Amino acid sequence: MKLTVVGCSGSFPSAESACSSYLVEADGFRLLLDMGNGALGELQRHCGLYDLDAIFLSHLHADHCIDMCAYFVARYYRHDGGRCDPIPVYGPEGTEHRLTTAYADTPTASSMSEVFDFHTVKPSTFDIGPFTVHTERVRHPVEAYGIRIEHAGKSLTYSGDTGVSETLEQLARNTDLFLCEAAFTHGKENIPDLHLNGREAGQTAKRAGARKLVLTHIPPWTDPQVNLSDAREEFRGPVELAAPRASYEI
């Protein structure tokens, strides 16, 4: 499978990157993980507006889902004469309501469900197209999920947003590529159950036995090089920073 970083800025967009969004492709199937601020624009560098096959939202903070409002417009008012059947959207309980109210303060729930086929995520194992996915709750102030995606004997694990989490460690067990948030900096921010710092991301990767670590969700006000070197002190495998338009064959 192929992973492409659509956006990787943490919490709010930077001059260089949209917020969280990652395209995962295999066998001609396109699964998008998260669609934060600015992601819909960037996504069009990588595929057509209507080329996605499924969307997974790790949680309902704006920096992970808010461009779904723009994507609703693009699908509902499609201008090229084509028709948009509902695309599967996997998200936490309340995803449809959250997106509907973010879009407008008048109820448009029925309209949104005309172009999005909402599925409520719970900790479980299920198939999305050619992928087998495992979802687990991670530690964040709202209901949030990490996801492990498997295809052809390889795996990708995405942390979503989380504080230190044993469940995440188990989810990432021996994973080929661990896409892990490192929003905080060791010694600078320390709020439990919110985000990982570089050191904690490295420790999680080490304990999980991950083969490769890619740090993501670093906010524009944070020096990514500090988080990168903190992670490298803990995890001896390859570590790098996510960057917009970077892609990985897994």
Question: Least distance to Zn ion from the beta carbon of 135, Å?
Answer: 16
Burial 163-172 (b: 16+ CB within 10 A, else e): bbbeebbebb
| Rounded distance between C-alpha atoms, residue 145 and residue 6, angstroms | 19
φ/ψ region of 28 (left if φ > 0, alpha if ψ in -120 to 50, else beta) reads: left
Phi, psi of 209 (to 5 degrees): 75, 30
How many residues can be counted in the chain? 250
| Least distance CB 141 / Zn ion (angstroms) | 7
To Zn ion, the closest distance from the beta carbon of 234 in angstroms equals 22
Q: Footprint of Zn ion on this chain (CB under 5 A)?
A: 61, 63, 161
Shortest Cβ distance from residue 81 to Zn ion (Å)?
Answer: 37
Closer of 174 and 190 to Zn ion (Cβ):
190
In the bound state with Zn ion, the residue whose beta carbon lies nearer, of 134 and 217, is 217
Identify the residue whose tokens are 């490769």: 212
- How many Cβ atoms sit within 10 Å of the Cβ of residue 97? 14
Of 161 and 234, which CB lies nearer to Zn ion in the complex structure? 161
Nearer of residues 150 and 198 to Zn ion, judged by Cβ: 198
